[in-house]
Chain A
Amino acid sequence: MSEANPAAPVVIVGAAMGGLRAAESLRRSGYTGAICVVGDELHAPYNRPPLSKEVLATEVTHDAVAFPSRAGMDDVEWMLGVRASAVDLDARTLTTDDGQVQPWRALVIATGLRARRLDFAPIAGRHVVRSLDDAMGLRAELTEGARVVVVGSGFLGCELSATASKLGCSVTIVTPSVEPMIRPLGDLVAQEMRRRLNVEGVEILSGVTVAAINGETSVESVELSDGRVIEADVVVESVGSECNIEWLEGSGLDLGDGVLADNAMRAVTTDGVARDDVYVVGDIARFPNPMFDDVPRRIEHWNIPTDTGKRAGAVLAAWLADDGSFDEVVAKPFAPMPSFWSNQFEIKLQAYGLLGLVADDDIRILEGDLTEQAAVGYFRDDRLVGVLGIGMKAALLPYRKQIAEGGS
Protein backbone atom coordinates (compact mmCIF):
# COMPACT_ATOMS: atom_id res chain seq x y z
CA MET A 1 0.00 0.00 0.00
CA SER A 2 1.43 3.32 -1.11
CA GLU A 3 1.43 5.87 1.69
CA ALA A 4 3.92 8.41 0.38
CA ASN A 5 3.13 11.94 -0.75
CA PRO A 6 1.72 11.35 -4.26
CA ALA A 7 2.69 14.86 -5.37
CA ALA A 8 6.39 14.24 -4.79
CA PRO A 9 8.44 12.76 -7.64
CA VAL A 10 10.27 9.49 -7.82
CA VAL A 11 13.83 10.68 -7.27
CA ILE A 12 16.61 8.69 -8.93
CA VAL A 13 20.07 9.51 -7.57
CA GLY A 14 22.69 8.74 -10.21
CA ALA A 15 22.35 9.79 -13.85
CA ALA A 16 24.34 7.01 -15.50
CA MET A 17 23.14 3.83 -17.18
CA GLY A 18 21.43 2.33 -14.10
CA GLY A 19 19.46 5.50 -13.31
CA LEU A 20 18.44 5.85 -16.94
CA ARG A 21 17.23 2.25 -17.19
CA ALA A 22 15.25 2.60 -13.97
CA ALA A 23 13.53 5.73 -15.31
CA GLU A 24 12.77 4.07 -18.66
CA SER A 25 11.44 1.00 -16.89
CA LEU A 26 9.12 3.08 -14.69
CA ARG A 27 7.63 4.60 -17.84
CA ARG A 28 7.44 1.28 -19.69
CA SER A 29 5.70 -0.21 -16.66
CA GLY A 30 2.99 2.43 -16.77
CA TYR A 31 4.10 5.01 -14.20
CA THR A 32 3.19 8.44 -15.58
CA GLY A 33 3.99 10.60 -12.53
CA ALA A 34 6.97 12.86 -11.96
CA ILE A 35 10.54 11.49 -12.19
CA CYS A 36 13.58 13.52 -11.19
CA VAL A 37 17.11 12.23 -11.89
CA VAL A 38 19.97 13.77 -9.91
CA GLY A 39 23.53 13.28 -11.17
CA ASP A 40 26.91 14.80 -10.31
CA GLU A 41 28.23 14.72 -13.89
CA LEU A 42 27.15 17.41 -16.34
CA HIS A 43 26.64 14.89 -19.14
CA ALA A 44 23.43 13.03 -19.89
CA PRO A 45 23.83 9.24 -19.48
CA TYR A 46 26.46 7.62 -21.70
CA ASN A 47 28.09 4.26 -22.29
CA ARG A 48 31.33 3.90 -20.35
CA PRO A 49 33.13 0.85 -21.83
CA PRO A 50 34.26 2.60 -25.04
CA LEU A 51 36.12 5.13 -22.86
CA SER A 52 38.97 2.66 -22.43
CA LYS A 53 38.70 1.19 -25.93
CA GLU A 54 37.26 2.49 -29.19
CA VAL A 55 36.48 6.04 -28.12
CA LEU A 56 39.82 6.59 -26.42
CA ALA A 57 41.53 5.36 -29.58
CA THR A 58 39.65 7.83 -31.79
CA GLU A 59 37.91 10.95 -30.52
CA VAL A 60 36.26 11.31 -27.15
CA THR A 61 32.91 13.08 -27.49
CA HIS A 62 29.62 12.79 -25.66
CA ASP A 63 27.82 12.18 -28.97
CA ALA A 64 29.92 9.10 -29.59
CA VAL A 65 28.80 7.43 -26.37
CA ALA A 66 25.42 8.99 -25.41
CA PHE A 67 22.49 6.62 -24.94
CA PRO A 68 19.57 7.30 -27.28
CA SER A 69 16.52 8.87 -25.65
CA ARG A 70 13.37 6.82 -25.59
CA ALA A 71 9.67 7.60 -25.96
CA GLY A 72 7.98 8.67 -22.74
CA MET A 73 11.18 10.15 -21.31
CA ASP A 74 10.60 13.74 -22.46
CA ASP A 75 9.09 14.92 -19.18
CA VAL A 76 11.75 13.38 -16.93
CA GLU A 77 13.55 16.13 -15.02
CA TRP A 78 17.35 15.94 -15.07
CA MET A 79 19.24 17.75 -12.31
CA LEU A 80 22.81 17.42 -13.61
CA GLY A 81 25.95 18.71 -11.94
CA VAL A 82 24.30 18.22 -8.55
CA ARG A 83 25.55 15.84 -5.89
CA ALA A 84 23.42 14.13 -3.24
CA SER A 85 24.72 14.85 0.24
CA ALA A 86 22.19 13.25 2.62
CA VAL A 87 18.93 11.37 2.70
CA ASP A 88 16.21 11.06 5.33
CA LEU A 89 14.19 7.88 4.88
CA ASP A 90 11.58 8.82 7.51
CA ALA A 91 10.90 12.31 6.17
CA ARG A 92 11.40 11.06 2.60
CA THR A 93 13.74 13.86 1.57
CA LEU A 94 17.02 14.15 -0.29
CA THR A 95 19.51 16.93 0.45
CA THR A 96 21.83 18.01 -2.35
CA ASP A 97 25.15 19.86 -2.24
CA ASP A 98 23.50 23.06 -3.52
CA GLY A 99 21.51 23.16 -0.27
CA GLN A 100 18.16 22.06 -1.71
CA VAL A 101 15.90 19.63 0.11
CA GLN A 102 13.97 17.53 -2.40
CA PRO A 103 10.95 15.53 -1.18
CA TRP A 104 10.43 12.15 -2.82
CA ARG A 105 7.66 9.63 -3.11
CA ALA A 106 10.14 6.85 -3.83
CA LEU A 107 13.92 6.80 -4.10
CA VAL A 108 16.20 4.90 -6.48
CA ILE A 109 19.85 4.65 -5.46
CA ALA A 110 22.07 4.49 -8.55
CA THR A 111 25.22 6.37 -7.56
CA GLY A 112 27.57 3.61 -8.66
CA LEU A 113 31.31 3.63 -8.17
CA ARG A 114 34.22 6.00 -8.49
CA ALA A 115 37.79 5.20 -9.38
CA ARG A 116 40.09 4.58 -6.43
CA ARG A 117 43.13 6.87 -6.43
CA LEU A 118 46.67 6.28 -5.28
CA ASP A 119 47.57 8.44 -2.30
CA PHE A 120 50.16 10.79 -3.85
CA ALA A 121 50.43 14.53 -4.55
CA PRO A 122 48.03 15.73 -7.25
CA ILE A 123 50.42 16.59 -10.08
CA ALA A 124 49.75 16.79 -13.82
CA GLY A 125 49.98 13.51 -15.72
CA ARG A 126 48.10 11.40 -13.17
CA HIS A 127 44.87 9.93 -14.53
CA VAL A 128 42.00 7.61 -13.83
CA VAL A 129 39.37 6.57 -16.37
CA ARG A 130 35.84 6.41 -15.09
CA SER A 131 34.03 9.36 -16.64
CA LEU A 132 33.90 10.95 -20.07
CA ASP A 133 35.85 13.94 -18.73
CA ASP A 134 38.52 11.56 -17.40
CA ALA A 135 38.87 9.98 -20.84
CA MET A 136 39.08 13.37 -22.57
CA GLY A 137 41.84 14.42 -20.21
CA LEU A 138 43.83 11.24 -20.73
CA ARG A 139 43.34 11.20 -24.52
CA ALA A 140 45.08 14.57 -24.82
CA GLU A 141 48.23 13.14 -23.24
CA LEU A 142 48.40 9.82 -25.10
CA THR A 143 50.63 11.22 -27.81
CA GLU A 144 53.01 9.16 -29.89
CA GLY A 145 56.12 8.29 -27.92
CA ALA A 146 54.62 9.16 -24.53
CA ARG A 147 55.87 6.91 -21.73
CA VAL A 148 52.84 5.53 -19.95
CA VAL A 149 52.77 3.60 -16.69
CA VAL A 150 49.50 1.81 -16.04
CA VAL A 151 49.05 0.89 -12.39
CA GLY A 152 46.86 -2.19 -11.96
CA SER A 153 46.29 -5.15 -14.26
CA GLY A 154 42.56 -5.74 -14.18
CA PHE A 155 40.47 -5.55 -17.35
CA LEU A 156 40.47 -1.75 -17.34
CA GLY A 157 44.24 -1.49 -16.90
CA CYS A 158 44.90 -4.03 -19.65
CA GLU A 159 42.45 -2.38 -22.06
CA LEU A 160 43.97 1.04 -21.42
CA SER A 161 47.43 -0.42 -21.98
CA ALA A 162 46.40 -1.87 -25.31
CA THR A 163 44.75 1.36 -26.42
CA ALA A 164 47.71 3.53 -25.37
CA SER A 165 50.09 1.14 -27.08
CA LYS A 166 48.09 1.30 -30.32
CA LEU A 167 48.31 5.10 -30.13
CA GLY A 168 52.10 4.83 -30.20
CA CYS A 169 52.84 5.15 -26.48
CA SER A 170 55.35 2.90 -24.75
CA VAL A 171 53.42 1.15 -22.00
CA THR A 172 54.47 -0.52 -18.76
CA ILE A 173 51.96 -2.18 -16.46
CA VAL A 174 52.84 -2.12 -12.76
CA THR A 175 50.82 -4.52 -10.65
CA PRO A 176 50.92 -6.25 -7.27
CA SER A 177 49.29 -9.29 -8.91
CA VAL A 178 51.24 -12.28 -10.15
CA GLU A 179 49.53 -12.21 -13.55
CA PRO A 180 47.20 -9.76 -15.33
CA MET A 181 43.46 -10.26 -14.76
CA ILE A 182 44.25 -13.21 -12.51
CA ARG A 183 41.43 -12.62 -10.04
CA PRO A 184 38.56 -13.03 -12.48
CA LEU A 185 40.25 -15.33 -15.01
CA GLY A 186 42.36 -17.68 -12.88
CA ASP A 187 46.06 -18.52 -13.12
CA LEU A 188 46.15 -20.56 -16.33
CA VAL A 189 44.27 -18.07 -18.50
CA ALA A 190 46.01 -15.08 -16.89
CA GLN A 191 49.43 -16.52 -17.80
CA GLU A 192 48.31 -16.75 -21.41
CA MET A 193 47.06 -13.15 -21.27
CA ARG A 194 50.48 -12.03 -20.04
CA ARG A 195 52.12 -13.86 -22.93
CA ARG A 196 49.82 -12.19 -25.44
CA LEU A 197 50.25 -8.72 -23.96
CA ASN A 198 54.03 -9.20 -23.95
CA VAL A 199 53.96 -10.19 -27.62
CA GLU A 200 52.17 -6.90 -28.33
CA GLY A 201 54.97 -4.97 -26.62
CA VAL A 202 53.36 -4.25 -23.25
CA GLU A 203 55.81 -4.80 -20.42
CA ILE A 204 54.29 -6.16 -17.19
CA LEU A 205 56.11 -5.66 -13.88
CA SER A 206 54.28 -7.86 -11.38
CA GLY A 207 54.51 -8.31 -7.65
CA VAL A 208 55.26 -4.62 -7.11
CA THR A 209 53.40 -1.55 -5.94
CA VAL A 210 54.02 2.14 -6.49
CA ALA A 211 56.14 3.68 -3.71
CA ALA A 212 56.23 7.21 -5.14
CA ILE A 213 55.27 9.29 -8.15
CA ASN A 214 58.08 11.76 -8.74
CA GLY A 215 57.83 15.18 -10.38
CA GLU A 216 57.46 18.80 -9.23
CA THR A 217 54.43 19.87 -11.26
CA SER A 218 54.02 16.91 -13.60
CA VAL A 219 54.91 13.22 -13.62
CA GLU A 220 58.58 12.47 -14.31
CA SER A 221 59.02 8.97 -12.94
CA VAL A 222 57.41 6.22 -10.91
CA GLU A 223 59.28 4.59 -8.07
CA LEU A 224 58.38 0.97 -7.33
CA SER A 225 58.32 -0.91 -4.04
CA ASP A 226 61.41 -2.90 -5.09
CA GLY A 227 63.39 0.30 -5.63
CA ARG A 228 63.22 0.41 -9.41
CA VAL A 229 62.48 3.79 -10.97
CA ILE A 230 60.62 4.01 -14.30
CA GLU A 231 60.65 7.24 -16.29
CA ALA A 232 57.12 8.25 -17.22
CA ASP A 233 55.07 11.08 -18.69
CA VAL A 234 51.68 9.67 -17.84
CA VAL A 235 50.45 7.50 -14.97
CA VAL A 236 47.07 5.80 -15.35
CA GLU A 237 45.69 4.48 -12.07
CA SER A 238 43.35 1.52 -12.57
CA VAL A 239 43.47 0.21 -9.03
CA GLY A 240 39.81 -0.59 -8.50
CA SER A 241 36.84 1.40 -7.38
CA GLU A 242 34.94 2.64 -4.35
CA CYS A 243 31.18 2.79 -3.80
CA ASN A 244 29.55 6.21 -3.74
CA ILE A 245 27.64 5.61 -0.50
CA GLU A 246 28.79 8.50 1.70
CA TRP A 247 25.49 10.34 1.19
CA LEU A 248 23.65 7.31 2.61
CA GLU A 249 25.59 7.14 5.85
CA GLY A 250 23.29 7.33 8.86
CA SER A 251 20.22 6.61 6.72
CA GLY A 252 19.67 3.21 8.32
CA LEU A 253 20.37 1.22 5.14
CA ASP A 254 22.76 -1.74 5.20
CA LEU A 255 25.99 -0.36 3.70
CA GLY A 256 28.16 -3.42 4.37
CA ASP A 257 29.49 -3.46 0.79
CA GLY A 258 27.62 -1.10 -1.48
CA VAL A 259 23.93 -1.09 -0.54
CA LEU A 260 22.12 -4.30 0.38
CA ALA A 261 19.03 -5.09 -1.69
CA ASP A 262 16.65 -8.02 -1.90
CA ASN A 263 15.93 -9.87 -5.14
CA ALA A 264 13.29 -7.24 -6.02
CA MET A 265 16.08 -4.59 -5.73
CA ARG A 266 14.38 -3.07 -2.66
CA ALA A 267 16.92 -1.50 -0.30
CA VAL A 268 17.34 -3.37 2.98
CA THR A 269 17.86 -1.62 6.32
CA THR A 270 20.31 -2.66 9.04
CA ASP A 271 17.24 -4.17 10.77
CA GLY A 272 16.78 -6.46 7.77
CA VAL A 273 13.65 -4.75 6.46
CA ALA A 274 13.23 -4.30 2.69
CA ARG A 275 11.76 -0.85 1.92
CA ASP A 276 9.01 -0.81 -0.72
CA ASP A 277 9.83 2.84 -1.48
CA VAL A 278 13.65 2.64 -1.79
CA TYR A 279 15.49 0.73 -4.54
CA VAL A 280 19.12 0.06 -5.44
CA VAL A 281 20.46 -0.51 -8.97
CA GLY A 282 23.77 -1.02 -10.72
CA ASP A 283 27.32 -1.62 -9.49
CA ILE A 284 26.48 -0.40 -6.02
CA ALA A 285 23.70 -2.95 -5.41
CA ARG A 286 24.56 -6.02 -3.34
CA PHE A 287 21.74 -8.43 -4.19
CA PRO A 288 21.09 -12.18 -4.29
CA ASN A 289 20.97 -13.86 -7.70
CA PRO A 290 19.21 -17.27 -7.59
CA MET A 291 21.11 -18.33 -10.70
CA PHE A 292 24.01 -19.01 -8.33
CA ASP A 293 22.84 -19.05 -4.68
CA ASP A 294 21.23 -16.78 -2.10
CA VAL A 295 24.39 -14.82 -1.22
CA PRO A 296 24.01 -11.09 -1.96
CA ARG A 297 26.88 -9.85 -4.14
CA ARG A 298 27.84 -6.72 -5.99
CA ILE A 299 28.52 -7.46 -9.65
CA GLU A 300 30.61 -4.93 -11.56
CA HIS A 301 29.62 -6.09 -15.03
CA TRP A 302 28.24 -3.86 -17.74
CA ASN A 303 24.85 -5.54 -18.06
CA ILE A 304 23.97 -5.30 -14.38
CA PRO A 305 22.84 -1.63 -14.29
CA THR A 306 20.44 -2.37 -17.14
CA ASP A 307 19.07 -5.59 -15.65
CA THR A 308 18.71 -4.23 -12.12
CA GLY A 309 17.38 -0.87 -13.36
CA LYS A 310 14.64 -2.62 -15.32
CA ARG A 311 13.79 -4.85 -12.37
CA ALA A 312 13.65 -1.95 -9.89
CA GLY A 313 11.54 0.14 -12.27
CA ALA A 314 9.00 -2.64 -12.78
CA VAL A 315 8.65 -3.41 -9.05
CA LEU A 316 8.48 0.26 -8.06
CA ALA A 317 5.88 1.00 -10.77
CA ALA A 318 3.70 -1.79 -9.38
CA TRP A 319 4.02 -0.37 -5.86
CA LEU A 320 3.15 3.13 -7.06
CA ALA A 321 0.18 1.83 -9.08
CA ASP A 322 -1.25 0.33 -5.89
CA ASP A 323 -3.48 -1.91 -8.01
CA GLY A 324 -2.87 -5.21 -6.25
CA SER A 325 -0.17 -6.36 -8.71
CA PHE A 326 2.78 -5.65 -6.39
CA ASP A 327 3.20 -9.08 -4.75
CA GLU A 328 2.96 -10.80 -8.11
CA VAL A 329 5.63 -8.54 -9.67
CA VAL A 330 7.94 -8.99 -6.66
CA ALA A 331 7.54 -12.78 -6.91
CA LYS A 332 8.55 -12.86 -10.60
CA PRO A 333 11.88 -14.65 -10.99
CA PHE A 334 14.87 -12.31 -11.36
CA ALA A 335 18.17 -14.02 -12.15
CA PRO A 336 20.20 -11.79 -14.49
CA MET A 337 23.06 -13.42 -16.41
CA PRO A 338 26.27 -11.52 -15.64
CA SER A 339 28.23 -10.89 -18.82
CA PHE A 340 31.28 -8.91 -19.82
CA TRP A 341 33.64 -8.48 -22.71
CA SER A 342 37.10 -7.06 -23.11
CA ASN A 343 39.11 -6.12 -26.20
CA GLN A 344 42.88 -5.83 -25.91
CA PHE A 345 44.75 -5.68 -29.22
CA GLU A 346 43.41 -8.68 -31.14
CA ILE A 347 42.46 -10.46 -27.93
CA LYS A 348 38.67 -10.63 -27.72
CA LEU A 349 37.36 -11.92 -24.43
CA GLN A 350 33.71 -12.55 -23.72
CA ALA A 351 32.27 -14.15 -20.62
CA TYR A 352 29.01 -15.24 -19.04
CA GLY A 353 28.34 -16.09 -15.41
CA LEU A 354 30.50 -15.48 -12.36
CA LEU A 355 34.07 -16.59 -13.07
CA GLY A 356 35.35 -15.20 -9.79
CA LEU A 357 33.39 -17.75 -7.71
CA VAL A 358 35.76 -20.49 -8.73
CA ALA A 359 39.07 -21.88 -7.40
CA ASP A 360 41.98 -22.38 -9.83
CA ASP A 361 41.69 -26.17 -10.05
CA ASP A 362 38.06 -25.95 -11.16
CA ILE A 363 38.87 -24.16 -14.40
CA ARG A 364 38.85 -26.39 -17.48
CA ILE A 365 39.34 -25.90 -21.20
CA LEU A 366 36.00 -26.83 -22.78
CA GLU A 367 36.94 -26.31 -26.42
CA GLY A 368 39.87 -25.15 -28.50
CA ASP A 369 43.39 -24.20 -27.52
CA LEU A 370 44.35 -21.42 -25.08
CA THR A 371 47.09 -20.10 -27.36
CA GLU A 372 44.59 -19.65 -30.20
CA GLN A 373 40.84 -19.73 -29.61
CA ALA A 374 39.24 -21.35 -26.61
CA ALA A 375 36.16 -21.71 -24.45
CA VAL A 376 37.09 -22.03 -20.79
CA GLY A 377 34.67 -23.39 -18.16
CA TYR A 378 34.56 -22.24 -14.54
CA PHE A 379 33.05 -24.88 -12.23
CA ARG A 380 31.85 -24.72 -8.62
CA ASP A 381 31.00 -28.07 -7.02
CA ASP A 382 31.04 -29.57 -10.53
CA ARG A 383 28.46 -27.04 -11.66
CA LEU A 384 29.28 -24.69 -14.53
CA VAL A 385 28.98 -21.14 -13.14
CA GLY A 386 31.01 -19.25 -15.73
CA VAL A 387 32.35 -19.51 -19.27
CA LEU A 388 35.04 -17.43 -20.94
CA GLY A 389 35.52 -17.21 -24.68
CA ILE A 390 38.89 -16.24 -26.06
CA GLY A 391 38.09 -15.30 -29.64
CA MET A 392 34.96 -17.47 -29.46
CA LYS A 393 31.38 -16.21 -29.44
CA ALA A 394 28.62 -18.40 -30.88
CA ALA A 395 30.33 -21.45 -29.37
CA LEU A 396 29.66 -20.00 -25.90
CA LEU A 397 25.90 -19.95 -26.30
CA PRO A 398 25.18 -23.56 -25.21
CA TYR A 399 27.36 -23.00 -22.13
CA ARG A 400 25.50 -19.80 -21.36
CA LYS A 401 22.27 -21.78 -21.45
CA GLN A 402 23.79 -24.40 -19.16
CA ILE A 403 24.80 -21.74 -16.62
CA ALA A 404 21.32 -20.19 -16.73
CA GLU A 405 19.68 -23.56 -16.18
CA GLY A 406 21.70 -24.42 -13.13
CA GLY A 407 24.93 -25.59 -14.68
CA SER A 408 24.48 -29.36 -14.70
Chain B
Amino acid sequence: MIKIEVDMNQCQHYGQCVFEAPDNFKLNDDDKLEYVAEAPDSERDNIEAAVDVCPMQAIRIVE
Protein backbone atom coordinates (compact mmCIF):
# COMPACT_ATOMS: atom_id res chain seq x y z
CA MET B 1 0.00 0.00 0.00
CA ILE B 2 1.27 3.50 -0.87
CA LYS B 3 0.49 6.42 1.44
CA ILE B 4 -0.01 9.82 -0.14
CA GLU B 5 0.12 13.24 1.46
CA VAL B 6 -0.89 16.50 -0.19
CA ASP B 7 0.16 19.75 1.44
CA MET B 8 -3.15 21.60 1.12
CA ASN B 9 -1.45 24.89 2.00
CA GLN B 10 0.71 24.45 -1.10
CA CYS B 11 -1.92 22.96 -3.39
CA GLN B 12 -3.35 25.45 -5.87
CA HIS B 13 -5.85 22.95 -7.31
CA TYR B 14 -4.34 22.89 -10.79
CA GLY B 15 -5.50 19.32 -11.23
CA GLN B 16 -2.48 18.07 -13.19
CA CYS B 17 -2.39 15.01 -10.88
CA VAL B 18 -5.92 14.11 -11.98
CA PHE B 19 -4.66 12.98 -15.39
CA GLU B 20 -1.86 10.85 -14.02
CA ALA B 21 -3.69 9.06 -11.22
CA PRO B 22 -7.45 9.54 -11.65
CA ASP B 23 -8.23 6.82 -9.08
CA ASN B 24 -6.66 8.96 -6.38
CA PHE B 25 -7.10 12.58 -7.44
CA LYS B 26 -10.03 14.62 -8.71
CA LEU B 27 -11.18 18.22 -8.94
CA ASN B 28 -14.65 18.77 -7.50
CA ASP B 29 -17.25 21.17 -8.87
CA ASP B 30 -15.75 24.02 -6.83
CA ASP B 31 -12.34 23.55 -8.53
CA LYS B 32 -10.91 22.07 -5.31
CA LEU B 33 -8.69 19.01 -5.18
CA GLU B 34 -10.03 15.89 -3.48
CA TYR B 35 -7.79 12.88 -3.00
CA VAL B 36 -7.67 9.37 -1.62
CA ALA B 37 -4.64 9.01 0.66
CA GLU B 38 -3.94 5.33 -0.05
CA ALA B 39 -3.24 3.45 -3.25
CA PRO B 40 -2.32 -0.16 -4.07
CA ASP B 41 1.34 -0.79 -4.96
CA SER B 42 0.30 -1.41 -8.56
CA GLU B 43 -0.49 2.32 -8.79
CA ARG B 44 3.04 3.42 -7.88
CA ASP B 45 4.05 4.59 -11.37
CA ASN B 46 0.88 6.66 -11.67
CA ILE B 47 1.24 8.20 -8.22
CA GLU B 48 4.89 9.05 -8.91
CA ALA B 49 3.82 10.65 -12.18
CA ALA B 50 1.25 12.71 -10.26
CA VAL B 51 3.99 13.83 -7.85
CA ASP B 52 6.16 14.84 -10.82
CA VAL B 53 3.54 16.92 -12.62
CA CYS B 54 2.34 18.92 -9.62
CA PRO B 55 3.34 22.53 -10.39
CA MET B 56 3.43 23.31 -6.67
CA GLN B 57 5.27 20.07 -5.79
CA ALA B 58 2.65 19.62 -3.07
CA ILE B 59 2.23 15.82 -3.36
CA ARG B 60 4.42 13.45 -1.41
CA ILE B 61 4.63 9.67 -1.16
CA VAL B 62 5.15 8.73 2.49
CA GLU B 63 7.70 5.89 2.48
Contact = CB atoms under 8 A, between A and B. Distances in A.
A350 B63 CA distance: 31
Nearest to B57: A47
Contact of A397 (B15, B51, B63): B15
Interface string B29-62: 1010000000000000100100111011100100
Contact of B27 (A49, A67, A393): A393
Given A306-B53, A341-B55, A394 B31 contact: yes
Given A394-B28, A397-B18, A302 B13 contact: no
B16 interface: yes
B27 A339 contact: no
Nearest to B61: A68
A394 B57 contact: no
* A21, A68, A400 pick with most chain B CB within 10 angstroms: A68
A229 to B, nearest CB: 39
B27 A394 contact: yes
Contacts, number: 42
B26 to A, nearest CB: 9
The bracket for how many chain B residues form the interface is 20 to 34
Contacts of B57: 47, 65, 67-68
B29 A394 contact: yes
A303 interface: yes
Nearest to A350: B14
Interface in A299-350: 302-303, 306, 337, 339, 341, 343, 348, 350
A369 B48 CA distance: 36
Contact of B31 (A28, A47, A392): A392
A70 interface: yes
Interface in A36-80: 47, 49-50, 54, 65, 67-68, 70-71
11 contacts: A54-B56, A68-B57, A68-B60, A71-B63, A303-B53, A306-B52, A392-B31, A393-B15, A394-B28, A394-B29, A394-B31
- 6 residue pairs, one from A and one from B, having the closest CB atoms: A394-B27, A393-B31, A394-B31, A306-B52, A47-B57, A393-B15
